[in-house]
Amino acid sequence: MRVRLASRQLAANLSDADATVQSMPDASPAKWHLAHTTWFFETMVLKPVAAGYEVFDESFNFLFNSYYESVGERQPRPKRGFVTRPSLAEVLAYRDHVDRAMETLLESDLDGDLTDLIELGCHHEQQHQELLLTDILHLFSQSPLRPAFTDPEPISSEARETAPMTFLPFEGGIVEIGHDGSGFGFDCEGPRHRTLLEPYRLADRLVTNGEWIDFIEAGAYRDPMRWLSAGWADIKANGWTMPLYWEKRDGTYWSMTLRGFQPIDRAAPVTHISYYEADAFASWAGKRLPTEAEWENAAQGLPLSGNFASSGRLRPLPAEDLDAGPRQMFGDCWEWTQSAFLPYPRFKTAAGAVGEYNGKFMCGQFVLRGGSCATSEGHVRATYRNFFPPEARWQFSGLRLAEDG
């Protein structure tokens, strides 16, 4: 219920219109996120097992199914913004209806499989809470008024810089990565398995906006030698000259944020960059992106603390000054890795509709690690694998550099 309530709190900042409009095919309306996460509990849990459960509205299965072929036809993703009805108020009533039925169900004795499915529903909802925030940011960035999702108080634009980046050595060898099955993990995080790492070194913090400005002003966005072929094609096709949401006004860089239009904080990590831009920066810096196994090997055992959505900041924060250890591994920005999102050895998709959760997306996407300032606290782990296509920029995606040891 705590997770369900958090979604409602996000909706409290939105008008019916805010929650209905879809700003691009990749982004979904907030109303859709609120209804789809509810549909997940109704379809995967209540309909199959709750005796006497009354479906709230038969048409919602078409409207709010995301991509589950085994659950039937659905509204095409790019046309989710055309669903002007039901209203936000009706979607919230749908949430109440399903929550009441779930509360009744939770009072009965549930078997382990059902408990696991309900837990999956909660983690699924947290994923959509982050998407709701990134999709609202994209929507608000299209408005000439540049509305703020949350308190628009200005954030210091003093030209601070963080301490120089240092590289931490890791021995490598045969290491174990992946989820071992204890506690919750998405199917794609396991099985735990051995993998071979050559010695490597990992940056102690994320790449900052200040460093990114150096990259821009060195002309890197105009130099094809820095770019993967597909990335250079996107640069030319889209006219990219800086990260998504950035603008240069009177010699100063500004960015649209969930707190409205703000000056760039040079010391904070760069975000809203594609895989192509992350790769080009690493090439320009004479480094490379880490693999996901290198990242996870470094992250294992670190506390799962960081700048998450619960801080209310909803922007990445500059790295704290610490003497040792990698900083910003969790929270702030998702970190692009050079690893394709592929099944681990011995991975098997689950039977039934939930088998469609991750497995069918294991083609053409790259893994990002560590969570962001829009991720719910407690949602990520060292083994967590997020994934997006290489051109995606509307998530809180940044980078950490690596090099061979």
Residues near Fe ion, by CB under 5 A: 66
Closest CB to Fe ion among residues 283, 349 = 349
The CB-of-131 to Fe ion minimum distance in angstroms stands at: 8
Three-state secondary structure of 129-181:
HHHHHHHHHHHHHCCCCCCCCCCCCCCCCCCCCCCCCCEEEECCEEEEECCCC
The two beta strands, 334-340 and 397-398, are parallel
Quick one: 280 or 354, whose CB is closer to Fe ion? 354
Residue 66 or 162: which CB sits closer to Fe ion? 66
Nearer to Fe ion, 131 or 319 (CB): 131
User: Which of these, 47, 52, 96, lies nearest to 72 by C-alpha position?
Assistant: 47
Q: 6 exposed, middle or buried (CB, 10 Å; 0-12, 13-18, 19+)?
A: middle
CA distance 14 to 325: 40
Which of 32/334 has CB closer to Fe ion?
Answer: 32
In the complex, what is the shortest distance from the CB of residue 355 to Fe ion, in angstroms, rounded to a whole number? 14
Q: Minimum distance between the CB of residue 164 and Fe ion, rounded to whole angstroms?
A: 41
Q: CB nearest Fe ion: which residue?
A: 66
Taking the complex as a whole, the smallest distance from the CB of residue 153 to Fe ion amounts, in Å, to: 33
243 with 182: CB under 8 angstroms? no
User: Least distance in Å: CB of 124 to Fe ion?
Assistant: 6
**H or E segment and range at residue 366:** strand 366-369
Query: Quick one: 66 or 274, whose CB is closer to Fe ion?
Result: 66
> Which amino acid is present at 200?
Y
Q: What whole-number distance in Å separates Cα of residue 307 and Cα of residue 384?
A: 17
Residues 6+ apart with CB under 8 A from 233: none
In this structure, how many other beta carbons lie within 10 angstroms of the beta carbon of residue 248?
13
Nearer to Fe ion, 77 or 193 (CB): 77
Q: How far is the CB of 65 from Fe ion (least distance, A)?
A: 9
Hey, which bits of 178-259 come out as E strands?
A: 193-197, 200-203, 246-249, 252-257
8 Å CB contact between 81 and 138: no
State in angstroms the smallest separation of the CB of 73 from Fe ion: 17
Q: How far is the CB of 249 from Fe ion (least distance, A)?
A: 37
Contact between residue 7 and residue 128 where contact means Cβ atoms under 8 Å apart: yes
Shorter beta-carbon distance to Fe ion: residue 232 or 361: 361
Give the Cα separation of 14 and 11 in Å (integer): 5
Report how far residue 90's alpha carbon sits from residue 55's, in angstroms, rounded to the nearest whole number.
14
CB of 19 to Fe ion, least distance (A): 17
Measured from the CB atom, is 66 or 209 closer to Fe ion? Answer: 66
The three-class DSSP label of residue 78 is helix
**DSSP for 296-354?**
HHHHTTS-S-SB-GGGS--S--PPP--SSS--SSSBSSEEEEEEE--PPTT--PPSSGG
